[in-house]
Chain A
């Protein structure tokens, strides 16, 4: 119990540190960057026309007025009151814009991640079970190739082939401009728009799921409990799933839950290629539009996402690994 507690304590410390670093990067970068900070908001001719008071007003409004220490306190206060500033491009609070886009990103990422994990795990386990055979080498080569393909390039090829040439899917966006007004129609429309982005994201991530499963499974297959289980005469299915894969799943599960957060960031390129209205594209657009409060807000939100995913992974891990929780038998007394 105590050991477990200190493990969580350590993790909690780490996440707090990550958050602190992310906040400090956000705070520090604009202030460290060379040149007049006003250049981030206006071009040079506009700045010349501004009066000193106006300049100060702008600086104050974006939290660049006062001493560094005052600015820092003000910045922290903002974050803890869920105020990330105002987007220059959208002229709306950053948090509101993010909230609008978040659902879109989740509808894209979750199915893609599940698909890629399921396929990666199945083929990875199959490949490991057939280690050294032609089909193992074949899948290994295929998956290494998938891993070598940049996600945005797959997206571009998919658009060129399946959207432009064949016309099966839309070239961009998450919904059609014209709707038939029914809920069912809307769902179908969204799903239709999701096919290519999900396929792209799945292909781009399936390789690492496969490789992790294959090596984890190989490790598990070489263990003594496999020999013992086989000697009991259990069927091949039981051997592969209840023993081999059951043990191999532990590192896979951890990676899967943790990647839930990372992928929000990783979807930037895919969302950009497909002009998909999610968090990733929001980040890209805010970079292009030099909308700095927006960009920083997205970065911080993604960091929150990563930390949340990590905590989720830590908390749920004992569900699949009995060694990570206290014993039911021992509680009853020996």
Chain B
């Protein structure tokens, strides 16, 4: 967890403790009765009245302390009730499902659609002002949101592995409920509860401010109600009469927001992997003439990448070194987690913090890409190095048309007329075997293979000399995989591309690459020309990978194995 998250959580606890101590001990130590006149009216703060007095001569500090008890009591009671009712409804409807769930969900929808403040007011008016009324109406509008969220969480636990496993092994419903659902859901009640306290204290203050509070009890909201209805802000007294109760409300609500933020991150960490990128500044770059002279398009030298894990660094790529000559296709093969995609990200400078590159250089046409500024690397991406992502999930933006995504790739690097743009888009689509009419399509209207073709078109539309294809066939049907490989091979030859082809699919790689790197645990374990490597490599890992390729005819060794 981030340090800042912990700090925010701790701040919340401290703020709440201050208010809680004030509520518990305040009335015991403050020598005035909040309900009785304690001095002249509108006295400014002094040694005897720290926060002065109101129009009735009541001590405001005493009022605040008593008000703290009322506000916290209503806030916490309501939160307990709303979380409990919402929790029970949510867990049961999530767990039982069927008609019961349908019914409950309809009720929840209705409660959530009704305008909550007017609803509370209308109901409260008929019930008459009072603490019980406030607790009732706030619970009435608040349980539904809790129920909906807890139901969603119950559903996700219900379909999780352990529960399905227990079911398969014949566990009873009650057993599953007791052993899996409840322990799984219960921790989620806590952030829900914290969020509820926060909302209900605000609602209580609004209701009290509108005069729906208990007339015989002081709360922060009702202090402000009287201050407002007696035009407290027209006198100088507003400074000590209006500001302090508001600060109390803000303090408590903020305390619970902070604690809620911490709990939310802890129980339900954001899945987003996004972190802000570091700014790269322009600096002097010397060209490595030796590499240029040897016609080496890309040279990776002793590249290591580390990630922090439990306070230490884990090395995911370790001293990787390879060259890609002009027009050459290099294959990088390895299992998931072998570091091959990290190498690709490192090349186009898309490693995200907290990734850390302790040493290594990545020379593209003789210049180390790691020293490029933000703008310089942007010009390289797409224009000089094309990147083909795997389309399995969502490499295409779902709400932007194919046409627009191709167009922005073009305009990122060139200035063209509308007509030229049109022609280039048609050309790019035809090049990857798609009819031009597909330019109007959105991602969800395309099949997996078509999406992959669009991505290839996007990567090639600026005619880069170098292309990185990162698992371009993952998640596609076998026949489509073959088509995509054939397409890439054809384009590579036609355009004389230098290329890195990353895959865990060895047969695919063998059919398209000139040379091969085998990676395992972040190291290069074997390398050589593809054909030679396939036939003669003696490295045990390479052998295992190659022997795992299914063949229609049995290998000789296998026959021999049988003979043995």
Contact = CB atoms under 8 A, between A and B. Distances in A.
B276 interface: yes
Interface string B377-401: 0111111000101000111111111
Given A222-B272, A287-B210, A310 B113 contact: yes
A69 to B, nearest CB: 21
Contacts of B381: 230-233
A157 B258 contact: no
A331 B383 CA distance: 35
A262 B113 CA distance: 9
A109 to B, nearest CB: 13
Interface in A108-154: 128-133, 136-137, 141, 144-145, 147-153
B486 interface: no
A32 B379 CA distance: 72
Given A145-B250, A153-B249, A235-B378, A327 B206 contact: no
B311 to A, nearest CB: 18
Interface in A215-251: 215, 218-219, 221-236, 238, 242-243, 246-247, 250
A268 B121 contact: yes
A321 interface: yes
A246 B257 contact: no
Interface residues of B, number: 89
Contacts of A327: 441-442, 445
Nearest to A207: B257
Contacts of B487: none
Of the candidates A21, A128, A320, the one having the most CB atoms from chain B within 10 angstroms of its own CB is A21
Contacts of B198: 148
A171 B232 CA distance: 12
Contacts of A149: 246, 249-250
A328 interface: yes
B276 A132 contact: yes
Interface stretch (A55-63, A70-78, A80-88, A298-306): A298-306
A152 B229 CA distance: 12
Given A132-B275, A144-B261, A224-B393, A296 B122 contact: yes
Contacts of A157: 242-243, 246
29 contacts: A17-B109, A144-B257, A145-B250, A148-B253, A150-B246, A152-B205, A152-B206, A153-B242, A156-B224, A157-B243, A160-B242, A171-B234, A215-B270, A219-B272, A221-B272, A222-B272, A224-B389, A229-B397, A231-B387, A232-B409, A242-B404, A250-B399, A269-B210, A299-B115, A302-B115, A303-B114, A307-B113, A320-B399, A327-B441
Interface of B: 2, 4, 8, 106, 109-110, 113-119, 121-123, 125-127, 198, 202, 205-206, 209-211, 221, 224, 227-228, 232-234, 238, 242-243, 245-246, 249-250, 253-254, 257-258, 261, 270-276, 348, 350, 374, 378-383, 387, 389, 393-401, 404-405, 408-409, 412-413, 437-438, 440-442, 444-445, 455, 458-459, 462
Interface of A: 14-15, 17-18, 21-22, 25-26, 29-30, 32-33, 128-133, 136-137, 141, 144-145, 147-153, 156-157, 159-160, 164, 171, 215, 218-219, 221-236, 238, 242-243, 246-247, 250, 261-262, 264-266, 268-269, 272-273, 283-284, 287-288, 295-296, 298-299, 302-303, 305-307, 310, 320-323, 327-330, 332
Given A151-B206, A231-B381, A327-B441, 19 more contacts: A14-B110, A25-B122, A131-B276, A148-B253, A148-B257, A156-B242, A218-B274, A225-B397, A228-B389, A228-B395, A229-B397, A233-B413, A246-B397, A247-B399, A287-B211, A295-B121, A295-B125, A299-B118, A305-B115
